[in-house]
Amino acid sequence: MLQTLYKNADEIATRLVQKLLDKHIIETTAEGEIREVFRKLFEKLPDMDEFDVQFKIAPIRQLAVNPNFISLYLTQYITEDLINHGKIQDIFGDDQEIYQVVDSIISAVRPR
């Protein structure tokens, strides 16, 4: 999953940011910059320490039945880190809503 995300980082970042905008989860003044943030994150994820990933998703681990750990990580990233990006005006929705939007895109790289 991580390798697929890495190899298709640009395409998946574009789809994710567009979906977040369409569903009114994020409000930004610079869509391209946010897309680049996600692209870089997707390229960095395969090299991240497992402890760091587990630590990040711990608060919302029980958010969904059979959750996708990448979707959980991105949900936490959006609510904890992306909110502080200079080009993000606001983030809307609760953890569940954000997870569902993120997972609708990330599920494409999830093995069946």
For 24-37, write each residue's pLDDT tens digit. Answer: 999 999 999 999 99
Phi, psi for 74 (deg, rounded to 5):
-65, -35
Hey, what are 22's tokens? 């369409």
Distance between CA atoms of residues 34 and 84, nearest Å: 12
Q: Does residue 111 surpass a pLDDT of 80?
A: no
**What is the pTM (predicted TM-score) of this model?**
0.94
Mean pLDDT across 73-97: 96
3-state secondary structure of 28: strand
Q: Distance between the two ends of the chain, CA-based, in angstroms? A: 11
For 51-77, write each residue's pLDDT tens digit. Answer: 999 999 999 999 999 899 999 999 999
Place of tokens 């949900």: 75
Distance between CA atoms of residues 55 and 24, nearest Å: 27
Assess contact for 61 and 72: CB atoms under 8 A. Answer: yes
How many domains, in total, are found in the chain? Answer: 1
Residues spanned by the domain of 69: 2-109
Distance between CA atoms of residues 67 and 14, nearest Å: 22
